[in-house]
C-alpha cells in the first residue's frame, strides 16, 4: 500500500518519530532510467533486511531540477513531468515519493544540516545512492561525508555502481539522464528506450494548431509539453488517450517546411483512434467524449522514420505521408507484439 506524495521536505517535524524506519534514495530521477531503478531495487533489499522490522522505501526527488533555481540558463530540459516521475518511481518500488522543491532555504543547507533534518524526519536505517552522489549547499557533501554522517545518525550507506546499457549498435553506455537527453535531442529515440527501459514518452496537452491537417485529410493533435522534444523528423509512436486506449501514431516534430513554417511544433496523427467508438476505421478527428482541444495525451516515440523534407507539391507530400503512416503503423504493431510476448514469457 503506497502513501501519497508529500509536496515539500521536512514539513512535518514529528513525522519521523511516529513511523517505522525508512530506506532513502535522493536525487532528481528525471526520466527514471535503469540506473534509478537499480537504486530502488537495492533500497527494497535493504528495507527487507532492516533489523528493526521492514523499513519503508522512500524516494526524495528534486523537482524542478536544482539548476532551475541556481542557474536557469544551465538547467537541463525535462524528460518527465512530475506526475510521470512520481508514477514511475512508485512502479520501480518506492512506497512513498517526496517532492523536494529546490527553495533557497533547502539549497543553502550544509551537508550536515541536510542529513540532520532527513534523519529527524525520516528515521533512515539506510541511504542508497550512486557513485557520483553529492548533497548540501554547493554540492559539498560526497560519499565519504555521507558515510561519516550515517555513523553519527545511525544509518548505513549503500553505494550502487553505475548501470551500463547496450545501445542498438552494441555500444555500452552508462545510464544517465544526460545521456538520454543527448540521444533524444539527436532523434535516437530507440537508443534512449534502451537506457529508460521503455519508450520515451512526452506528456502534454492538445492545443489548437493551424488546422491545416484537416484540409488535407490528416488531422493532427498539436501537443504542448514542458518536456524535451526529439530532433526534427517523423517518428513512429503511440498515443495514450485519456480513456486509457493506446493507439498508433505518426508524429511530426519540426517547422513544417513544405508550408514555410517557422515555429517548431509536435504533431501526432492518431491512427484508428475512433474505430471502437464509431465502427469505422481511420484517423482521429474529434474523439467521442472529448473536447476538440485541451485534453491530456502521452506520446511514446518508438522509432525515427525520416528527416523532415520540403516537398515541391502537395501531392508529393500526401504520397509520402501515406508511406509514413504505413511504416508507423507497422512499427507500432511490432512493438505491441513484442510487449505481449515479453509479458507472456
pLDDT in tens, 244-284: 999 999 999 999 877 777 789 999 999 876 544 433 344 55
What pLDDT does 14 receive?
45
- Same domain? For 129 and 215 the reply is no
Sorted by sequence, the CB contacts under 8 Å of residue 247 that are 6+ apart come out as 238, 239, 241, 270, 271, 272, 273, 284
Please tell me the predicted confidence (pLDDT) of residue 278: 36
In a shared domain, residues 137 and 220: no
Would you say residue 110 lies in a domain? yes
Runs of H (alpha helix) within 142-231: 143-153, 177-185, 189-196, 212-215
pLDDT along the chain (345 residues), means of 10: 53 54 98 99 97 93 96 98 98 98 97 98 98 97 99 98 98 98 99 99 92 76 97 98 93 85 90 52 58 92 97 94 97 95 80
For residues 329 and 254, membership in a common domain is answered with yes
Is 135 a member of any domain? yes
Residue 105: inside a domain, yes or no?
yes
What is the structure's pLDDT at 210?
Answer: 74
Q: What's the rounded Cα separation, in Å, for the pair 324 and 236?
A: 8
Same-domain pairing of 30 and 75: yes
Q: How many of the other CB atoms lie within 10 Å of CB of 127?
A: 29
Angle at 322 between CA 316 and CA 327, to 5 degrees: 125
Cis peptide upstream of residue 64 (ω within 30 degrees of 0): yes
Our count of domains for the chain comes to 3
Report DSSP state, residue 271. Answer: B
Write the DSSP symbol of residue 4: P
pTM for the complete prediction?
0.90
pLDDT at 345: 66
Closest listed residue to residue 95, CA positions, set 216, 186, 3: 3
The answer to whether residues 336 and 344 touch, using CB atoms and an 8 Å cutoff, is no
State the residue range of the domain holding 35: 15-161
Is 5 a domain residue?
no
Q: Could you tell me if residue 139 is inside a domain?
A: yes
Q: Is residue 1 part of a domain?
A: no
Amino acid at each position: 500500500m503506497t502513501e501519497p506524495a508529500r509536496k515539500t521536505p521536512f514539513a512535518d517535524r514529528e513525522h519521523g518519530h511516529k513511523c517505522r524506519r525508512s530506506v532513502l534514495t535522493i536525487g532528481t530521477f528525471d526520466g527514471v532510467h535503469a540506473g534509478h531503478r537499480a537504486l530502488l531495487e537495492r533500497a527494497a533489499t535493504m528495507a527487507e533486511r532492516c533489523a528493526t522490522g521492514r523499513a519503508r522505501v522512500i524516494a526524495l526527488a528534486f523537482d524542478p531540477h536544482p539548476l532551475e533555481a541556481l542557474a536557469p540558463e544551465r538547467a537541463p530540459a525535462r524528460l518527465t513531468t512530475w506526475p510521470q516521475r512520481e508514477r514511475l518511481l512508485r512502479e520501480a518500488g518506492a512506497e512513498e515519493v517526496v517532492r523536494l522543491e529546490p527553495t533557497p532555504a533547502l539549497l543553502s543547507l550544509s551537508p550536515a544540516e541536510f542529513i540532520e533534518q532527513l534523519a529527524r524526519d525520516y528515521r533512515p536505517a539506510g541511504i542508497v545512492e550512486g557513485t557520483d552522489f553529492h548533497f548540501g549547499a554547493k554540492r559539498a557533501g560526497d560519499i565519504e561525508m555521507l558515510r561519516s554522517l550515517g555513523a553519527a545518525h545511525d544509518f548505513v550507506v549503500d553505494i550502487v555502481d553505475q548501470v551500463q546499457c547496450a545501445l542498438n549498435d552494441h555500444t555500452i553506455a552508462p545510464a544517465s539522464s544526460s545521456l538520454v537527453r543527448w540521444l533524444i535531442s539527436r532523434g535516437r529515440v530507440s537508443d534512449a528506450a534502451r537506457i529508460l527501459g521503455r519508450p520515451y514518452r512526452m506528456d502534454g496537452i492538445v492545443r489548437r494548431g493551424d488546422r491545416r491537417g484537416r484540409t488535407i485529410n490528416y488531422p493532427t493533435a498539436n501537443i504542448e509539453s514542458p518536456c524535451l522534444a526529439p530532433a526534427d523528423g517523423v517518428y513512429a509512436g503511440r498515443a495514450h488517450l485519456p480513456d486509457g486506449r493506446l493507439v498508433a501514431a505518426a508524429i511530426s516534430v519540426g517547422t513544417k517546411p513544405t508550408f514555410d513554417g517557422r515555429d517548431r511544433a509536435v504533431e501526432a496523427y492518431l491512427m484508428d483512434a475512433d474505430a471502437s467508438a464509431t465502427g469505422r476505421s481511420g484517423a482521429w478527428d474529434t474523439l467521442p467524449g472529448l473536447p476538440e482541444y485541451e485534453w491530456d495525451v502521452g506520446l511514446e516515440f518508438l522509432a525515427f522514420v525520416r528527416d523532415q523534407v520540403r516537398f515541391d507539391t502537395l501531392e508529393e507530400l500526401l504520397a509520402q505521408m501515406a508511406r509514413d503512416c504505413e511504416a508507423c503503423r507497422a512499427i507500432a504493431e511490432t512493438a505491441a507484439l513484442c510487449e505481449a510476448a515479453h509479458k507472456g514469457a
